Amino acid sequence: GESLGFGPPDGFKRTYLLPDYRADAAHVPVKKLVHVSAAFPKPGPVAETEWLDALAEHTGWPNAIIGTVDLRRGAGDVERQLDAHQRSTRFRGVRVSLGFPYASEVGRATLGMLAERGLVYDAIVTADSPLAAAIKGAAAHPDLPFVLEHLGAPPLRTDQGEFARWQREIADFAAIPSTFCKLSGLAMRLHRFDAAEFRPLVEYCYGLFGPDR
């Protein structure tokens, strides 16, 4: 939390499970819930999916699962992990939070396997996985739905050079028909909730991707 500029993380250091979410979201008409893997689970990626699947059997939520994979043992092991993930009918695809090696052999193979299996890839922009790399990955796999998380991590508009670069790159990403944009995570960039600051970013992406994406 502190490394992202959110301040002391003490308030986040607690177990937060489905009953907590239901209580906090009681005033919102939530119809379906998708779990997206946000960190590398200590028991392993497949164990996370198995736990979520068991949770859904008892509670009805989550309705779908975006899990993760461990890329360190190569493409053969990723294939084994995907086989195990897909024992759950709720499993829909993969997100790798700590940087995805698009140009590597395991990165290319993983995207190919996701496409072959009819799954999706959720792309996070990081220093190690910039938007330019995601553009190349999506262009190389036009049959793979590529979901861009957090509007591609736009920089603050006060940084005019970087902001203009983001505008160009996200337009290039949107030009690939198999891409989608998730309206999320902007408070992590601004370190506050500010609709006036969010609006031009959302409207720019909405204009590029359209309501269907």
* Pairwise CA distance, residues 27 & 141, whole Å: 40
The DSSP element (H or E) to which 36 belongs, if any, is strand 34-36
- What is the mean pLDDT of the segment spanning 198-209? 95
> Is the confidence at residue 115, as pLDDT, over 60?
yes
pLDDT at 156: 78
Q: What is the pLDDT of residues 67-83, one digit of tens each?
A: 999 999 999 999 999 99
* Pairwise CA distance, residues 99 & 124, whole Å: 7
Helix, strand, coil share (%) of the chain residues, nearest 5? 45, 10, 45
Q: How far is CA 57 from CA 37, 114, 115, in A?
A: 19, 25, 27
How is residue 41 annotated by DSSP? -
Predicted TM-score (pTM) of this structure: 0.92
Burial of 213 (0-12, 13-18, 19+ CB in 10 A): middle
Q: Which range is least confidently modeled, 59-63, 106-110, 133-137, 160-164? A: 160-164
Whose tokens are 């983001």? That residue is 166
> Is the confidence at residue 89, as pLDDT, over 70?
yes
pLDDT at 77: 97
φ/ψ region of 131 (left if φ > 0, alpha if ψ in -120 to 50, else beta) reads: alpha
Q: What is the pLDDT of residues 116-152, one digit of tens each?
A: 999 999 999 988 899 999 999 999 999 999 999 999 9
Greater model confidence, 189 or 170:
170
pLDDT at 2: 52
Alpha helices, H only, the chain: 18-24, 45-59, 75-85, 105-116, 131-140, 160-174, 186-190, 195-209
Say whether 149 sits in a helix, a strand or coil.
Answer: helix
Q: Which range is least confidently modeled, 3-7, 145-149, 180-184? A: 3-7
> Is the confidence at residue 1, as pLDDT, over 70?
no
How is residue 11 annotated by DSSP? G
* Pairwise CA distance, residues 86 & 46, whole Å: 9
Helix 45-59, helix 75-85: angle, nearest 10: 10
| Under 8 Å between Cβ of 121 and 94 | yes
> Is the confidence at residue 4, as pLDDT, over 80?
no
